[in-house]
Structure formats: C-alpha cells, structure tokens
Chain A
Amino acid sequence: MFKLEPRQDASLWTSLRSILIALAITAVVSVLVMVVMSDKPAEAIWQLLSFPWQGRRMEVQFGLVAQQTAYLAIIAIGLSVGFKANVWNIGAEGQFAIGSVGAYLGYLILGSPEGAWALPLILLAGVIGGCLWALIPAALRVTSNTNELLTSLMLVYVASHLLTYLCIGPWKGDPKAGQAETFPMPESIRPETLINGTEFHTGLIILFVAFIVLAAILLFTLLGFRLRVAQHTPRAERFAGFSPDNTVWLSFLISGATAGLAGAVYLTAETGKLIQAENYLENFGFAAIVIAFLGRLHPIGILLAAFLISYVNVGASYVQASLGVDDSVADLIEVTALFAFLSTAMLDQYRVRWHTGSAKTSQAMS
C-alpha cells in the first residue's frame, strides 16, 4: 500500500528531482503515443526532436517556436500572478481579444496614422483594453463575492462575440474578403521583421522584455513578496498590512495587462487587422493556463515550459507535413506533461512509502 509522508528535507534538489521524473514520464508516454500514431515511430520521434535542422532554414523554424513562446510566456506569467494569490483568472483569451480590439480602437482614435511613432501608443491602448476587461471579474469578486473563475471564463465568449461583431458591423473592412475583417493597418506602423522570411519581429522583443521586467518584479520586489504571502495565508496577508481586495485588483490588472499586450502585439505584428473571432484567436489565452502550471508559477519555469510546448507544437506540424502524423500528437504530449507535472509536484514535499504489512519494512521510493 502506498503512503505519503511529509518530507523533513524538502529542498531545491527534491523539486528538481520531481521535475526530472515528470519529464521522464512525459518522454515515455510520448514515445508510446508516437508508436501508436505513426508507421515509422523512430523517424517521427527523431524528426520531432530535430526538426529545426531538418528543413532548409533553421531560423525559420526557431522563429515559429520563438513566436509561440513569446505569446504563451507573457500571458502565462501574468496569469501566474493571480494563481499564486489564489485569484483565478482563466479568461486571458478574452482579455487577449479585447487587447486587440483596444489596439485597433487606439489606431482609429489616432486617426489611422502611418508613422512608426504610433506603435507604442497602439500597444498601450491594447494594454488598457486588456486591463479594463479583466477588471470586470475583479470588480464583481470584490463587490459581490462572485466566483471569478466563472465570470472571467464567460467574458471570453462575450469578448469573442464582440470581436466578431466589430468585424461584421461598425469596423467592417473589405466586403470581398472571404471572412469578416477590418481594414488592415499600414505596413509602416507594424513591428519590423528582424530576419527576412522568419517570424522574428520587434513585437516579440517587446513581449520578451515585458516578460523579463515582470519576472524581476515578481522575484525581487515587495509585490512579488506580497503575492507569495497571499498564496496560502490570507490572515498573514492582512497582518502584513496588505488588503486581500487589493490583491484581487492587482492580480487581474497584471494578468489583463499582459494578455492585452499580447493581443495588441498579435494584431499589429501577425495579422495587421481584426478578423472574426474563430479565425483570429489561437487559444493562447487558454494554453497559457497550462503553461503557468507546467512552469510551477515560477518565471523561469514558465519560460521553459512555454519554449518546450511551443517546440513540440511547431515540431508536430513539421512531422505532420513530412510524415503525415496528425499534429494532435502535440496536444497529447502537452496533456501528458500537465498530468505528469501536477502529479509529481507533491514529491517535493512528500515521500512515497511502500508498506508491506509490517511497519518496519517500509522502503523509500523517491
């Protein structure tokens, strides 16, 4: 019979070890999945691992990975703020959409400018949009104690319908386009591509810088400290002079801002125009929830998790193209990783013991 015993010696090493165990479990299950899904599993696995060096240009593949990593990481670190403090914003997808809408609105308010000077203001408008959208569940939670899980999630659907409405209604662009969309922004104000033919653009740099700034704030400042206090102990939080209500406001504000920024960068860099929701949103806001937990709500972990998942995603598309293995394999690997990481997290704090009837013959498993 299994038994859990609290560890007296929990340390960085025990954490690291449980992460390694989780990676090993993920690897084994991924191999099994490949064996089932592919005729040539060995080759498929090899290509999944080494795809950037398989095609013609390595930087193109890494560009795709970096692009996904940036969006996932910035949204996930924003969400981790709230998750740490027991504030559950799962509506980043909606805040992302309204971030894009806010950015486009900013562009319109500025009078559809053509100069690159407008980009920072447009991004700022996106941040504000994401924040305002996130403040709705925050206000409901603080004033009427509604469950922010439900309200933030429901607002995702409101946001995506709003996006679609704007595309078919007030901001309708070219009527001959195959989808509902707005008129595009001029190339001159969009983030520049850094390496020709790749997805590396200045927008990604903005996202990574924002990530680093927020990570530093969380690791080294009072704000980060405050959130760690709020995580498990509301009484200690109040004793330290922090108001729990303000923690709710702050968490939503930060996660709304990061999702809004991601939405604004996405609009300006990737599409240049708003498109009806189902063709525009790529689920970054939901995927980021998984990334936040895979990264154990720690900035470095989040960055690594975002990179790994993006790598697998892009790799799976490559394998689909080259060997015809369905790219849903990426989803399976991601889900496996999530299960493995969540289930091994308790190994940090507990050890598993195997009892065989008598008390003396217990043996440590890990």
Chain B
Amino acid sequence: MTDATQQPLIETRAICKSFGKVKANQDIDFRVLPSQIHALLGENGAGKSTLMKIIGGLQQPDNGKILWKGKPVSITSPKVARAMGIGMVHQHFALFEGLSVAENIAFSIDGAVQGKVLNKRILEIADRFGLEVEPQRPVFELSAGERQRIEILRALLLNPELLILDEPTSVLTPQEADQLFVTVRKLASEGHGIVFISHKLKEVKALCDAATILRGGAVVGTCDPETTSAESIAELMLGSRDIVAVRKEREVGTARLSINNLNLQSDDQTLRINALELFGGEVFGVAGVAGNGQELLFAALSGETRSKQPHSIIIDGMPVGNLGPNQRREHQAMFIPEERLGHAAVPHMDLTDNALLTNLSNPAATRYGVVSKKFLLEETNQIIDRFDVRHGGINRAAKNLSGGNLQKFVVGREMNKSPAILIVNQPTWGVDALSAVKIREALMALAANGSAILVISQDLDELLEISDRLAVLHHGDLGHARPVHEWTVEALGLAMTGSSTTEHVA
C-alpha cells in the first residue's frame, strides 16, 4: 500500500518557519502517501503544530516548498487548504454547546448544505465510517468522544483527501479510542491520507504505517512504527535520554486528608463522596472521562467551591470544608489545576507575579500588604532551576511559555512549598514526554517524603504508573478505591464509561 514509487499526496521540502529567534521548523521534509496513516511524533515544542498549521493554511512558511500531488502550491489560508482537500481535526473542539450536531456542522461548511439534505449526508457519511451520531441532539449533551466524532464528520463532509488528527485520543476512553481507530483505518482503506499526531507510542504502533519524528524543529528520523521498537522511537523523540520513571516503594503513613459525606452541585456537575481517606506517602489516582465531576472535585478540595459542613473535608485533623483556598494553603495543602492559562496562571502577568498567585498566605511574600519583589524573584528562580523551566526571561508574560514549560512552572510553584497534601488535576496534559516524566518523578518523590497526593487524570497509563490506589469518578460518584495492581485497563475503561458497577470489578 505504501510503496516508495507512489506519488505522495502531500510533500513538504525544506520548510522553515521562525518566530522571532525561535526556529519552530527547520528544513522539514515530510511526505504522506494516499492510504497511509502517518504518525507525526515529537515532544511539545518539537514543531508538529507549526508544521500542521502551515499545511492547514493557518501559517505561512518563511522558506521551502509544499507539493500537493506533485504540484507546487501555496496554501494561503485555511479556506484554500479546505478547497484543496486538506481537513483538520483539532485537539480542542470548537463547537457551539447550545446548537445541535447538524447546526454545528452547517456552520463549519458555511451553510453550503442545510436542512434535510444535510441530515441525510451526515447520516450517510457517519454510516460509511462507523461514526455513530444523532444530528438533532444538542452538543452540550454529548461526551468528548461524541464531540470528536462531530469534528471528524465536519472535516469529512468536505471530502478531504488528507485528514490531520491532532492528538485525537487525549480525551477518549479506551473503548472510544478503539472505535476511532476503526474509523481511521476505514478512511485509509478508501484512499485518504491521514496524519496522526500523538504522544502515545502504543497507539501509534498499533495504528500507523509510517512515522516522522521531529525534535527541536527538525526531522530526526522516519520509521515504520510497527517494526520499530517503542524504545527506539522514544529515543529518537527525546534524544538519548532515560524516559522510564523508576517506581519506588513507599511507606504509607497516617491519614492526612479525609472526605466525609461531601455532596456538592455546580451548574453542570454533581459530586458525591461518602468517605475517602488519603494517607501520607501515597499517590491516589482518580480516573474518569472528562466532564464526570473532575472540575468540581478539584474545586471542592481546593476551596474554590466550599461546602457548608466544615467536617466534610479534613486536612491533618483540621476541618476545612467551609474554608477558602488560602486558609487551606495555610495548612500546607496545595493545588494544581488542569487549565494552565487562566486558572493556574494569569496569561498576561509575568512569572514572578504568577509565583505570587498561590503565595498570598505566605508571610514571606508580603509585608504589611506590600509585595516583596525580592522574595518573589528568589522563589521564581528556585522554581525555574529546580524544574528546568525554559523561558524567554522572567519578565515575559506567562502566555509566552510553551505548554510544557508553563506546566513545569506551575507544578514547581506548588512543589517548592513542600506541601503536606497536593491535589493535581491532569498533571501532564499536553506536556511533552520528557517534562511529563520529570513531573511524575517529582510527584512520586514528594509522596516518598510523606505527603499525600491526589492525582485526577484522564491518562490511564499515567495513573497506573504513579498511583498506589485508584478510584474512578463517574457521574460525580467516586467509586471504590483499590490498589492499582487489582485493576486492569479494561476494567477501568468499563468503570469509566459506567458500563459496570465497581462491584463487578471486584
């Protein structure tokens, strides 16, 4: 299917793109054949997104050529890209919650097809590729997997010959991911070229028949992922660095965090936890598909959402259920939210100011209400050194950092305070592999020193790697917690989709 003599669907030659002094793409040669599922691998900041934005018409290369079916083209806008036959499914969905599936799709194709004809076409294509959708359902009712199907559908409605999938499985359950793979294979078998961007080598090995690996903005290798070992691909991605986090045996100490009869309700989520105890020295994992109460669980623990009963949450013997974030921080409980920009950090403020954000109750940070710049500088530099945060100067705004580096900063900010209890939501979401390993190692080292850590994550591999105990959050209910070795990925996947009650897993 992928012999070398075939005319590539798309080919880039020596693509270069710089942002200021940063060379995001350097002489990139990249080719995708028809019917090929081509993986694009690399750490965050390796240049994958830039390359895809160039192909998608969102950005213009400084230099280099793009050939579409052998002919040189200039893709000046996303519209041009779509007209040529390049479809893109973004990692972050751009859907109107209040509109129906069909309405959302009509929007994206500029209303070219509407009403019954559109419904019919949606169902046709959905049927052809095994994408189950109900055109009339409003988007807010849909799960992440269903939303992704809409994104894929609206790309397919334009009959693309090349489909780019940007980290498509990051929000899916294992079952949903399997379903996606079936669709992708079907597409490839009908002659579509697929670019599959992912961090998960397992998936790439199972699905893709070619891979291009980027590092530091340049191509460092191509391979056949089926026959190349995961270790050697990882080595290409990361350079010759150790990516295996070492699991240390940890002593479990006394209860540091307990939750009793916590019932909360927010606009779109509910949370019910009857009893949970977290011990010093343990990493407790909370698995679950996005939108099952993770945000509310985090807010309840951080104090952003307060309960009326003080005893619903107890930190080191102190009832804190009705207290706010800073009063909980005074008891050495620290929190790392999922959203880096706008929640964990203020995009427009520089790193020192962002260091202050969670240090407000720290007596060293302010004196008589006056902010101590000296303390903040020291603190910021410590965080940067300890966690190898690469930045263009600590006076630059947080939004200028790459996702991985900002996450290291945000994690480092809380770690640097040696928390007794640490609550983390999605510690390595959208973070490059090396940073992810560093962050996980830091979490485990902290637990080894006697802290209690609660990790909320949708990355099962991550949870299985670092947790001692694991529970699944589904529709706001936190299921029974079990030691990790009693779980299997399949059992977790079922619990996460609510297909089985926790009793069955036992």
Contact = CB atoms under 8 A, between A and B. Distances in A.
B397 to A, nearest CB: 7
A362 interface: yes
Contact of A239 (B22, B337, B348, B397): B337
Interface string B354-375: 0011101100001001110000
A9 B22 CA distance: 11
B388 to A, nearest CB: 21
Contacts of A223: 369
B342 A222 contact: no
B60 A362 contact: yes
A152 B366 CA distance: 34
A220 B371 CA distance: 6
Given A229-B357, A241-B326, A241-B360, A235 B339 contact: yes
Max count, chain A CB within 10 A of own CB: residue among B60, B335, B346, B347: B346
B302 interface: yes
Contacts of A362: 60
Contacts of B20: 8-9
B301 interface: no
Interface string A338-366: 00000000000000000000111010000
Contacts of A235: 337, 339, 342-343
A239 B302 contact: yes
A358 B361 CA distance: 55
Given A232-B347, A236-B342, A241 B361 contact: yes
Contact of A240 (B61, B76, B325, B342): B325
A279 interface: no
Contact of A225 (B326, B345, B356): B356
B344 interface: yes
Interface in A187-213: none
A238 B342 CA distance: 11
Contacts of A239: 302, 304, 325, 335, 337, 343-344, 357-358
A13 to B, nearest CB: 13
B349 interface: yes
B74 interface: yes
A144 interface: no
Contacts, number: 79
A233 B74 CA distance: 39
B12 to A, nearest CB: 14
Contacts of B369: 221-223
A221 B370 contact: yes
Contacts of A222: 360, 366, 369-371
Contacts of A228: 346, 348-349, 353
A335 interface: no
Interface string B313-341: 00000000000111101000001010100
Contacts of A358: 74
A10 interface: yes
A356 to B, nearest CB: 12
Question: Which of A9, A225, A241 has the most C-beta atoms of chain B within 10 angstroms of its own C-beta?
Answer: A241
A86 interface: no
A297 to B, nearest CB: 13
Contacts of B347: 232-233
Contacts of A9: 20
B139 to A, nearest CB: 22
A240 B357 contact: yes
Contacts of B356: 225
Nearest to B348: A232
B400 interface: yes
Nearest to A220: B370
A231 interface: yes
Contacts of A360: 60
Contacts of B324: 241, 243
Interface in B1-31: 19-20, 22
Ranked nearest first, the 4 interchain pairs of A and B with the lowest CB-CB distance are A241-B326, A359-B60, A241-B325, A8-B20
16 contacts: A223-B369, A233-B346, A233-B347, A235-B342, A238-B304, A239-B302, A239-B335, A239-B337, A239-B344, A240-B357, A240-B358, A240-B360, A241-B303, A241-B327, A241-B329, A359-B60
Interface of A: 8-10, 220-223, 225, 228-229, 231-233, 235-236, 238-241, 243, 358-360, 362
Given A221-B369, A228-B349, A240-B360, 13 more contacts: A9-B20, A220-B371, A221-B370, A222-B360, A222-B369, A229-B346, A231-B348, A233-B343, A235-B337, A235-B343, A236-B357, A239-B344, A240-B357
